[in-house]
Chains A and B, each alone.
Chain A
Amino acid sequence: MITLSGLSKSFGSNHVLRDIDLSIDQGESLVIIGGSGTGKSVLLKCILGLIEADTGSVCIDGTELTPKTRAAQMARFGMLFQGGALFDSLTVWQNVAFRLMRGPGRLPKAQARDIALAKLARVGLGPEVADKMPAQLSGGMQKRVSLARAIAAEPEIIFFDEPTTGLDPIMSGVINSLIHEVVTEMGATAVTITHDMSSVRAIASRVAMLHAGRIQWQGCVAKMDKCDDPFVSQFISGRADGPIEAVR
Chain B
Amino acid sequence: MTFIAAIGRHFLEVLAAIGRVGLFGLEATSHILRPPIYGRELALALVHIGWLSLPVVGLTALFTGGALALQITAGGARFNAEAVVPQIVAIGMVRELGPVLVGLMIAARVTSSIAAEIATMKVTEQIDALVTLSTHPMKYLIAPRIFAAMLVVPVLVGVGDIIGVMGGYLVATGPLGFSSTGYLRSTIDFLTLSDVASSLAKGAVFGYIAATMGCYAGMTSGRGAQGVGRATKGSVEAAAVLILAANFLLTGVFFSR
Contact = CB atoms under 8 A, between A and B. Distances in A.
Contacts of A86: 126, 129
B44, B128, B135: most-surrounded residue (chain A CB, <10 A): B128
Contact of B129 (A75, A85, A102, A103): A85
B122 to A, nearest CB: 11
A74 interface: yes
Contacts of B125: 81-83, 85
B228 to A, nearest CB: 13
B79 to A, nearest CB: 57
Contact of B132 (A77, A83, A103): A77
A48 interface: yes
Interface in A74-98: 74-75, 77-79, 81-83, 85-89, 98
Interface string B104-133: 000000000000000011001110110111
Contact of A99 (B36, B44, B133, B136): B133
B134 interface: yes
A74 B126 contact: no
Contacts of A240: none
Interface in A40-76: 45, 48-50, 71, 74-75
Interface string A107-134: 0000000000000000000000000000
Given A81-B129, A85-B129, A87-B129, A75 B134 contact: yes
B16 to A, nearest CB: 17
Contact of A102 (B44, B126, B132, B134): B134
B133 A81 contact: no
Contacts of A85: 124-126, 128-129
Nearest to A76: B134
B129 A78 contact: no
**Binding site of A, secondary structure by majority: helix, strand, loop or mixed?**
loop
A87 B126 contact: yes
Contacts of B135: 98-99, 102-103
A222 to B, nearest CB: 31
A75 B134 CA distance: 6
B131 A50 contact: yes
B134 A79 contact: no
Interface string A201-212: 000000000000
Contacts of A48: 128, 131-132
B126 A79 contact: no
Contacts of B131: 48-50, 74
Contacts of B120: 88
A45 B125 CA distance: 11
Contacts of A81: 125, 128-129
B132 A88 contact: no
B128 A45 contact: yes
B148 to A, nearest CB: 15
A88 B121 CA distance: 9
B32 to A, nearest CB: 18
A103 B134 contact: yes
A209 to B, nearest CB: 24
Contacts of B44: 89
Interface in A154-196: 159
B129 A74 contact: no
B120, B125, B129: most-surrounded residue (chain A CB, <10 A): B129
B134 A78 contact: no
B121, B129, B131, B133: most-surrounded residue (chain A CB, <10 A): B133
Contacts of A82: 125
Nearest to B129: A85
B124 A74 contact: no
B132 A79 contact: yes
Interface string B215-235: 000000000000000000000
Interface in B35-49: 36, 44
Interface of A: 45, 48-50, 71, 74-75, 77-79, 81-83, 85-89, 98-99, 102-103, 149, 159
20 contacts: A48-B131, A48-B132, A50-B128, A71-B134, A78-B132, A79-B132, A81-B129, A85-B126, A85-B129, A86-B126, A86-B129, A87-B121, A87-B126, A88-B126, A89-B44, A99-B134, A102-B36, A102-B133, A102-B134, A103-B134
Given A81-B125, A86-B126, 12 more contacts: A50-B128, A71-B136, A78-B132, A82-B125, A85-B125, A87-B121, A87-B126, A87-B129, A88-B126, A98-B135, A99-B133, A99-B135
- Which 4 pairs from chain A and chain B are nearest by CB? A85-B129, A85-B125, A79-B132, A99-B133
